[in-house]
Every structure is written in structure tokens, then in C-alpha cells.
């Protein structure tokens, strides 16, 4: 994810000489008098200098910052799981992801990514959600993200159940208008309601369509699978113009060709990435609330994220990480490594 942003900054070098924000960052509204690319940049400390258990538990041990001002991108935690329909625990996701992120280093030799040489990044901590009121939590999330995007900062979100993507996209659409969506998941999350409630982790993208937050012709859902209550569970997504890529159509193959098609579909307009960890097969990532067998592999996940290079990504999230169901450190790290590609 950080490499996606860094590549956009790198493309802005040249004609005038020197560094200036890339187009994907310029349109976020940062004042020309205050460019994050001109400011000193934060660097995760090396374990050769600072022991990994030392320090405050922030993402990649980056500095904690109260304000998004002056940042190109920032990690934000949303510890909410009261919208889940099965196993809870995603409220602990942001904290555990941060704990395991000490294994992430500043460069990616496989891709050549050097994000911290180009971008100013910090950890903004967590949104102060209301664990006793889902609607109020959505309001708090929306208001927090409106401030982040208004500052010209791209949010990299640590969830939290998938309900949180709905208020985040409300904030995104207020800034950018309807956005494209790359959605990796075992489920489409386009239900209308459950137990009489229209907002929970199974409905975020239906609510987004209702409110005109998505550019439906630029919505791609990858990894969809599992049993259903009807023989046509994907009717709603298809009727809205979404592109669905079922998990069975991904088995035993590279997703590089698919992502070439996705890049063409997204074009240069703003788009958002929402990655539900249950998109991966539970053999690799069992720590989630609604696991489904026969999912994507970690290498396919990397192909998806790396395939977003050059796109106008205005935000992303990793949701439904439920640490109580995955005692293995390595499982969480599989997705952490996508942030640096």
C-alpha cells in the first residue's frame, strides 16, 4: 500500500526538478504552503539500534501523532466489532496488528519499495468508538475520517469489523465524490438487513450504494465464496454493475492478469481498497469472525495489492482480524507485509 503511494510521488519528479506531491496527493487539498513531501520524514527504527520490544506500541513503531496535518498517509485504528454476526474479537485487531508490525522494516527488496524516503507517515492512534452504540460509532468514525482526508492525508485503516468501511466511505465520498472500490472478501457484504438492522458488517456496501458513495462501474469484488440461502446470492452486486470474481475462479492461478484488467477498469479516478482478512483461506488466516474454506492464498493477496501500483488510491483498510482465533504470529504478518508493497 505504501509503495502505491510512493510510486505516485516518484512520478511527479522531473519537469520542474526537485520533489513535489504526485497528482494523487495534490488533489487531496493540501495547501501549497505546507507539503508533507517537503518536511522531515519519519522512519521506523531499526532493530539493530532499538530492540523490537522497546517503545510505545505503534504501527511499525512510527511516531504517534494527534493530528494528520503535514502527513501524506497515516495508520488509523478502528477497534469496533459490535457489528459482527458470528465470532467477535475484531476490536482487538488494531492493537495486535501494531504489536506484530515490529517485524516490518523500511524497505521491500522484492519490489524495490522505499516508502519512507518519499512519504511522511505516522500513527494517528484509534478512533474513540462507542462500543454500546453502533450508529453512534459510525458517526464518530465518519467525523474522524472527514478531518483526516480534509488535511490531505491518506488513511491506512486497521479494523475492526467491516461495518467501519461504510462511515469511512462516507468521508471519502464527501471529499472525492463516488469512488471506485477494490473489495477482497469471502462475502459481498451487500445484504439489506439482519434482525431488523440495516447497519452491520454484512451491509456496508449496500448502504454505500444507497447513498451514492460508490462509482458502481468501478467496483470489483474478489474472493467471493461460501454457502448461501438462495441459488443467486450475487444478484444484487451484478444488478449494480459490480464485477464479481469468485474464489473458485482464482484457484490454482496467478491473479496478475486479473489485476491488469482491474487497473484498466479503475482508470485514474479515486479508488479505495477494502481487504477483509477472511478473503484468505482460513488455513492461512484463521483469526477472523466468519471463515470460509477454499479462499485466496497469501501469494494471491500480494498479487492483488501489488497490482494496484499506479492507481489513485485514496485510502484502504484491513478488517475482520480477530486475534483470539489465531494464536500464531505468522498468520497476521502475512497481511502486514502487503502494506509495504
Cβ atoms of residues 80 and 161 within 8 Å: yes
Lowest mean pLDDT among 78-87, 155-164, 321-330: 321-330
Of all residues in the chain, the percent with pLDDT exceeding 70 is: 84
Per DSSP, what are the bridge partners of residue 183?
Answer: 221, 274
Q: Choose the weakest-confidence range: 50-54, 96-100, 177-181.
A: 50-54
Give the three-state DSSP class for 323: helix
Which residues lie below 8 Å from residue 105, measured CB to CB, with a gap of 6+? Answer: 44, 46
- Binding site, annotated residues: 162, 185, 187, 189, 276, 278
C-alpha pair distances (Å), 160 with each of 134, 200, 216, 328: 12, 12, 24, 19
User: Are 236 and 226 in contact, with CB atoms under 8 Å apart?
Assistant: no
Give the model's confidence band at 332: pLDDT under 50 very low, under 70 low, under 90 confident, else very high.
Answer: low
How confident is residue 53, by pLDDT bands cut at 50, 70 and 90? confident
Check residue 48 and give its pLDDT.
86
Instruction: Give pLDDT tens digits for 222-251.
Output: 999 999 999 999 999 999 999 999 999 999
40 pLDDT tier (thresholds 50, 70, 90): confident
Q: Is the pLDDT of residue 15 over 60?
A: no
Contact 152, 74 (CB under 8 A): no
Using alpha carbons only, what angle is made at residue 300 by residues 286 and 326, rounded to the nearest 5 degrees? 15
All residues at 6 or more sequence positions from 299 whose CB lies less than 8 Å from its CB, including other chains: none
Average pLDDT rounded to a whole number, residues 280-284? 95
Q: Tell me, what's the pLDDT at 108? A: 87
Give the pLDDT score at 38: 61
pLDDT at residue number 2: 52
Helix axes 134-150, 165-176, angle to 10 degrees: 40
* Choice between 54 and 7, residue whose per-residue pLDDT is larger: 54
Q: What pLDDT score does 1 carry?
A: 57
- Among residues 209, 311, 220, which one has the least CA distance to residue 258? 220
Mean pLDDT throughout 66-88? 97
**Higher-scoring residue by pLDDT: 208, 50:** 208
Q: Report DSSP letters for 134-201, one per residue.
A: HHHHHHHHHHHHHHHHHTT-EEEEEES-GGGHHHHHHHHHHHHSSEEEEEE-SS------BTTBS-ST
Average pLDDT of the segment spanning 134-138: 98
Cβ–Cβ < 8 Å for 311, 270? no
Strand ranges, E, within the chain:
73-78, 121-126, 154-159, 179-184, 214-224, 243-246, 271-276, 313-319
**Mean pLDDT, rounded, of the chain:** 88
Tell which CATH architecture fits domain 70-337.
3-Layer(aba) Sandwich (3.40)
pLDDT in tens, 255-276: 999 999 999 999 999 999 999 9
> Per residue in 146-180, pLDDT tens?
999 999 999 999 999 999 999 999 999 999 999 99
pLDDT value at position 333?
Answer: 54
- What letter does residue 112 receive in the DSSP assignment? T
In angstroms, the Cα distances linking 91 to 96, 128, 331 are 10, 12, 17
Domain ranges of the chain: 70-337
pLDDT of residue 13: 34
CB-CB contact of 90 with 319 (8 Å):
yes
Q: How far is it, in rounded angstroms, from Cα 85 to Cα 202?
A: 8
Cα 20-146-196 angle, rounded to 5 deg: 140
Annotated binding site for Mn(2+): 162, 185, 187, 189, 276, 278
With cell 483461506, the residue in question is 281
Q: Is the dihedral of CA 240, 243, 249, 251 positive or negative?
A: negative
Q: Is the dihedral of CA 286, 296, 97, 180 positive or negative?
A: negative
- Non-local CB neighbours of 73 within 8 Å, separated by 6+ positions: 2, 5, 119, 120, 121, 153, 154, 155, 156
Amino acid at each position: 500500500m505504501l509503495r502505491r503511494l510512493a510510486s505516485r510521488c516518484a512520478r511527479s519528479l522531473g519537469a520542474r526538478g526537485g520533489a513535489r506531491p504526485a497528482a494523487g496527493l495534490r488533489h487531496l487539498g493540501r495547501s501549497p504552503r505546507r507539503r508533507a513531501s517537503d518536511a522531515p520524514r519519519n522512519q521506523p527504527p531499526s532493530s539493530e539500534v532499538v530492540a523490537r520490544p522497546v517503545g510505545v506500541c505503534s504501527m511499525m513503531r512510527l511516531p504517534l501523532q494527534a493530528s494528520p496535518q503535514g502527513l501524506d498517509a497515516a495508520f488509523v485504528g478502528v477497534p469496533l466489532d459490535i457489528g459482527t454476526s458470528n465470532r467477535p474479537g475484531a476490536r482487538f485487531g488494531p492493537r495486535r496488528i501494531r504489536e506484530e508490525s515490529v517485524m516490518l522494516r523500511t524497505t521491500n527488496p522484492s519490489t524495490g519499495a522505499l516508502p519512507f524516503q518519499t512519504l511522511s507517515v505516522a500513527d494517528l492512534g484509534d478512533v474513540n468508538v462507542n462500543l454500546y452504540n453502533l450508529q453512534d460509532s459510525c458517526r464518530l468514525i465518519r467525523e474522524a475520517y472527514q478531518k483526516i482526508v480534509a488535511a490531505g492525508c491518506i488513511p491506512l485503516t486497521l479494523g475492526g469489523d467491516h461495518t467501519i468501511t461504510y462511515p469511512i466511505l462516507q468521508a471519502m465520498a464527501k471529499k472525492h465524490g463516488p469512488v471506485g472500490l477494490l473489495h477482497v472478501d469471502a462475502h459481498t457484504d451487500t445484504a439489506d438487513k439482519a434482525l431488523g438492522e440495516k447497519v452491520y458488517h454484512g451491509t456496508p456496501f449496500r448502504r454505500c450504494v444507497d447513498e451514492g458513495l460508490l462509482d458502481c462501474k468501478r467496483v470489483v469484488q474478489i474472493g467471493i465464496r461460501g454457502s448461501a440461502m438462495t441459488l443467486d446470492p450475487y444478484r444484487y452486486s451484478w444488478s449494480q454493475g459490480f464485477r464479481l470474481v469468485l474464489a473458485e475462479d482464482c484457484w490454482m492461478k496467478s491473479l496478475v492478469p486479473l489485476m491488469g484488467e482491474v487497473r484498466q477498469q479503475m482508470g485514474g479516478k479515486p479508488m479505495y481498497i477494502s481487504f477483509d482478512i477472511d478473503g484468505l483461506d482460513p488455513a492461512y488466516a484463521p483469526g477472523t469472525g466468519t471463515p470460509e474454506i477454499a479462499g485466496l492464498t497469501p501469494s494471491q493477496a500480494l498479487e492483488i495489492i501489488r497490482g494496484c501500483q499506479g492507481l489513485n488510491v485514496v485510502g484502504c483498510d484491513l478488517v475482520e482480524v480477530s486475534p483470539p482465533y489465531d494464536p500464531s504470529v505468522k498468520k497476521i504478518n502475512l497481511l502486514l507485509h502487503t502494506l509495504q508493497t
